[in-house]
Structure 1
Amino acid sequence: MLSKKYVGIIMVFMVAVVLTSGCTSLNGVLDLINDKMCNKQLVNDTSYANISANTPTKTYSAYGIRFKYPRGWTVESENESGSNMIFALKEISFNYVQFQIQIVPNNGMSEEEAIRQIQDGNLVQSTISPSWEKKSSYTMTIDNKTAYEDIFLVNDSHFSKIMRISQITLVKNDKTYLMLLQAPDEEFDKEKPYFAIILNSLKFP
């Protein structure tokens, strides 16, 4: 049932498979690309920290994670897939605004190794599916930890509009937290204050 509602999950699951398998295809190409990426200093994305929304909120807690969210949104969690996941949706719809988080064990990998696996997975995804176009990468601070943000534009037949999806990766206490912010590209900036409510209040175990 959830897979019909949350198309953005596809990206998270693909990344999770890469993370848990510990390997990717196209290793030679990925190593060259990653070598170039390592020489680039990522800019810190402070856009969420510097905005706020004057809207009533509720607090949600599951799997040791706690955050605030706009009162009119719907939040639920599930672990039928074998991974603990949380969804916060502005409305239950194929195309619309949502936040997702998936918890993946690191299986003993260091933070650097876990982040590397996610980056490699993103590169493989972009190679396999040109409809996912990576636009930029940043760092950001969530719950006093450095997180890594990759922003994609998605022009896919599953969606009726061009979507902007921000994938945020945070590693803490031998777990990787994979987060997605999703909205139509033309509406994403308008929704940022509501995403900021969630991101600025997130607490991890």
Structure 2
Amino acid sequence: MPAQFDSFGIRFLYPDNWSVADRGEDEGDQGATLDFPGGGFFSLELTGAEAVGPLIDRIVSTIAADYEDLEREDVTLDVLPAGTAVTDLRFYYLDLLIISRIAVLKQGNDSSPDDVLLVQMQAESRDFDKNEPVFAAILKQIADAG
């Protein structure tokens, strides 16, 4: 039976073997991180649309500072509306290829019309591939509700 996430105006079903990570008080209440077996995560953050470009650049810069040979690719996902910004990052940690996908979803819920949902999914490549259908299902639920 799937678990249900329902917070800050965002609702979706997710696998019951995933867990919602605790957030520090300094992180606010407009985001969440779900950890899944294998060491990956699915993170959501409601933020102002004007902050998206700099926020994505900051995520890319932070990863690039720690890992050499960072590859960046803009991609499209069939489950998201046309024009949705999605960026894939690939880098190596030890001998493992890590994939980090960042998607920016426009929100039509009770949040400000200028707010967007920044979603980051990250895992070792085999775990990422295994969980990609789950990521797609969650993204579709969020996009359809928005």
TM-score for the superposition, normalised by structure 1: 0.54
Does residue 1:59 correspond to 2:59, yes or no?
Answer: no
C-alpha distance in structure 2 between counterparts of 1:147 and 1:124, whole Å: 21
Tell me, yes or no, if the aligned pair for 1:126 and 1:134 is still in contact at 8 Å: no
* 1:102 corresponding residue in structure 2: 45
Q: Name the % identity.
A: 19
Q: Does 1:134 align with 2:79?
A: no
Instruction: Determine the structure 2 residue equivalent to 1:179.
Output: 119
Question: Is 1:72 aligned with 2:12?
Answer: no
Residue of 32, 56, 64 corresponding to 1:86: 32
Measure, in 2, the Cα distance between the counterparts of 1:125 and 1:116: 14
TM-fit CA distance, 1:169: 1.8
Match of 1:168 among 98, 103, 106: 103
Secondary structure at 2:11 match in 1: strand
Deviation (angstroms), 1:85: 1.9
Give 2:88's aligned residue.
151
Shift of 1:63: 0.6
| CA distance, structure 2, for counterparts of residue 145 and residue 125 of structure 1 | 28
Aligned-pair CA distance for 1:189: 1.3
Cα deviation for residue 76 of structure 1 reads 4.7
Residues 105/153 of structure 1: CA separation in 2 closer, same or farther (3 Å cut):
same
- The amino acid of 2:47's aligned partner reads V
Higher fraction of strand: 2
Q: Is the 8 A contact 1:141 1:147 kept in 2?
A: no
SS at match of 1:72: coil
Q: Any idea what the Cα deviations from partners look like across 1:90-147, whole Å, max 9, x if unmatched? A: 23xxx613211112234xx4xxxx4433454356446544436134112447675743
State the distance in 2 between where 1:87 and 1:115 align.
Answer: 18
> Contact (CA 8 Å) 2:75, 2:87: kept in 1 or not?
yes
Q: Count the aligned residue pairs.
A: 139
Q: Judging changes above 3 Å, is the alpha-carbon distance between structure 1 residues 194 and 78 closer, same or farther for their aligned structure 2 residues?
A: same
- RMSD of equivalent CA atoms: 3.1
Partner Cα separation in structure 1 for residue 132 and residue 27 of structure 2: 30
Deviates more, 1:57-66 or 1:134-143: 134-143
1:194 aligns to what? 134
The alignment's TM-score, normalised by the length of structure 2, stands at 0.72
Structure 2 stretches lacking a partner, 5+ long: 108-112
Cα distance change, pair 77–122 in 1 and its aligned pair in 2 (3 A): closer
Gaps spanning 5+ residues in structure 1: where?
Answer: 1-55
- Provide the C-alpha distance between the structure 2 equivalents of 1:88 and 1:123, rounded to a whole number of angstroms: 20
